[in-house]
Amino acid sequence: MKIQKSSTSVPSVKAGKRATIKKALVTVTEKQCSRCKVIKLASEFYRKASDSTGLGSHCTECRKASERAFRATPEGKAKNYLKQKFWRENNPEKAKAIAQKASKKYYEKNKELVLQRNNDRRNREKLNLFRKLKTAQPNQELILKARLS
């Protein structure tokens, strides 16, 4: 007998699983965080479908703290980098907007430094062009002169 794996059977299995989880849900209004041991409101926990209460065992504050600690480790840094890279590649428009905003913010904060750097770069480029002009062939000369003006 042949067992056919069809793509349509996958979502139905998933839906069935989800349905059983929903049935097991216990509605709780508050819960004790297993890390800081403080009893907090259900709204202060992230949702976790596989848990019988539908909530995670750590409160949002503890979760955030442990995530922050993980991101500080080399492994966490690498994972976070890949995650952000993946997001940027899937949201190029948003990523561009965020980068532009950050760049503008940096400029506002370090205006003089940025202007000085730009000026230095321009002077360096000009200097390089002058150097090239000294040894330039006649046909190159015109191009270089145009770039200098």
How crowded is residue 61: how many other Cβ atoms within 10 Å of its Cβ?
14
CB-facing half-sphere around the CA of 109: CA atoms within 13 A: 6
Any contact of residue 71 with Zn ion (CB under 5 A)?
no
Please name the helix (run of DSSP H) or strand (run of DSSP E) that holds residue 55, with its range, or none: strand 55-59
> Quick one: which of 10, 24, 25, 36 contacts Zn ion (CB under 5 A)?
36
Any contact of residue 62 with Zn ion (CB under 5 A)?
yes
In angstroms, rounded to a whole number, what is the distance separating the alpha carbons of residues 87 and 95? 8
In angstroms, rounded to a whole number, what is the distance separating the alpha carbons of residues 60 and 36? 11
Work out how close the CB of 47 gets to Zn ion at its nearest, in angstroms, rounded to a whole number: 16
> Quick one: which of 45, 54, 56, 59 contacts Zn ion (CB under 5 A)?
59
From 17-25, 36-44, 91-99, 113-121, span contacting Zn ion (CB under 5 A): 36-44
In angstroms, rounded to a whole number, what is the distance separating the alpha carbons of residues 136 and 142? 9
From 53-61, 105-113, 116-124, 137-145, span contacting Zn ion (CB under 5 A): 53-61
Q: Which residues bind to Zn ion, rule: CB under 5 A?
A: 33, 35-36, 59, 62
